[in-house]
């Protein structure tokens, strides 16, 4: 592993070194989130065709969608960055796009962190905001 690809992360217990620089993933080109959206939809459609009852979008533990949610890793200056409304945009778009392509009873769950142990990261009030937004649009947050 190339040591230059790692970075130090502040944690309550001190400093840890991350193996890969995941924070760079959410910083892709301007049109990149829309391209990624298609991959999530494709995977959900094939999961349904394979007989699964639903899927779970992984938006926790530093994975790609978590990077969009977290102000600590999302440094975008477009409609996917900044305030929490913008940072939940990609997840909302993915969920909407999947819902248009699968059966009404196909489950689309989302795993999120309720908080990250860094001051600038995803916070409990933001997790609650995300939950309320999905409920407002008639979707339950799993």
Task: Give pLDDT tens digits for 46-74.
Answer: 999 999 999 999 998 888 899 899 888 88
Higher-pLDDT residue of 91, 135: 91
The per-residue pLDDT for 45 is: 98
Residue 22 lies in a domain: no
- Residue 33's pLDDT is 81
Question: Rounded distance, CA 40 to CA 43, Å?
Answer: 5
Which domain covers residue 84, as residue numbers?
28-137
CA atoms within a 13 Å half-sphere pointing along the CA-CB vector of 67: 15
Judging by DSSP bridges, how do beta strands 107-112 and 54-59 pair with one another?
parallel
Q: Is residue 7 part of a domain?
A: no
pTM of the shown model:
0.74
pLDDT in tens, 16-45: 444 344 445 556 666 678 788 999 999 999
123 within some domain: yes
């Amino acid at each position: 592993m190339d040591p230059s690809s790692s970075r130090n992360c502040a944690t309550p217990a001190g400093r840890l070194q991350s193996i890969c620089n995941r924070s760079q993933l959410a910083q892709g080109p301007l049109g990149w989130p829309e391209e990624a959206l298609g991959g999530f939809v494709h995977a959900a459609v094939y999961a349904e065709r394979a007989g699964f009852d639903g899927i779970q979008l992984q938006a926790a533990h530093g994975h790609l969608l978590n990077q969009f949610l977290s102000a600590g890793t999302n440094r975008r200056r477009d409609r996917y960055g900044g305030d929490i409304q913008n940072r939940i945009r990609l997840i909302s778009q993915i969920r909407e796009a999947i819902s248009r392509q699968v059966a009404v009873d196909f489950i689309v769950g989302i795993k999120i962190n309720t908080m990250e142990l860094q001051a600038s990261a995803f916070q409990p009030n933001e997790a609650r905001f995300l939950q309320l937004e999905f409920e407002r649009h008639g979707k339950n947050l799993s």
